[in-house]
Copies of this chain bind each other. A is one copy, B any other.
């Protein structure tokens, strides 16, 4: 097929931690597709300048280049109509957009506060200054002020996951009986944490934990085989 995916890496090429990249990698596997996963760092802007922008994921499919995880999922859904569906129709796609914003606005910030000290340690040395400067500007405070790897913040994360927990008490996936792109969006946040931090975010009795195990096991343990912490 010849897919190439530019995929954010950390202190080693094997440490892949970007949530948007994990969404795309799970989506490709969902469709039964494989990509060459090219390690990329924040400061390697020139390597992806052909894409006309500065962020990963960048997916190259033959002569097509697609950026932004949501647009890549929409591209794959349209370009490979005979493969398993990522969205399950127009309503499934529209509602997945709500779940994307919920995850990005409600889950990502609190998760980042927990894993930030570990994450910073596992960045590539070339990326640390860029990361500090860009994130401190975004947060309006220093990384050390933003970070909060405390029991209280972990409890807050678990509370924020409450609608997901209630859903998973009724059905095995956000998509119902099988996973869809909305599942991969939320799972990708946990892969971000898993790649970078030994902190245990979920209790084993949590339905969210069992759902995460199912997705770690999916596609012959594809996500589980990535470099990360066993938590």
Contact = CB atoms under 8 A, between A and B. Distances in A.
Interface of A: 85, 87-99, 101-102, 105-106, 162-164, 166-167, 170-171, 173-177, 180, 182
Nearest to A102: B163
Contact of A94 (B85, B94, B163, B174): B174
Nearest to A169: B101
| Chain A interface SS verdict (over half) | helix
A98 B176 contact: no
A95 B174 contact: yes
Given A89-B92, A91-B87, A98 B162 contact: no
B182 A95 contact: yes
A106 B163 contact: yes
Contact of A176 (B90, B105, B162, B171): B90
Contact of A93 (B96, B98, B176): B176
Contacts of A167: 97-98, 101
Contacts of A106: 163
A95 B154 CA distance: 25
Contacts of A87: 91
Contacts of A171: 94, 97
A95 to B, nearest CB: 4
A105 B89 CA distance: 27
A191 to B, nearest CB: 20
Given A90-B88, A91-B88, A99 B98 contact: yes
B91 A180 contact: yes
Q: Which 8 A-B pairs have the closest CB atoms?
A: A88-B91, A94-B176, A91-B92, A95-B95, A101-B166, A101-B163, A102-B163, A98-B167
A105 B163 contact: yes
A88 to B, nearest CB: 3
Contacts of A180: 91, 94-95
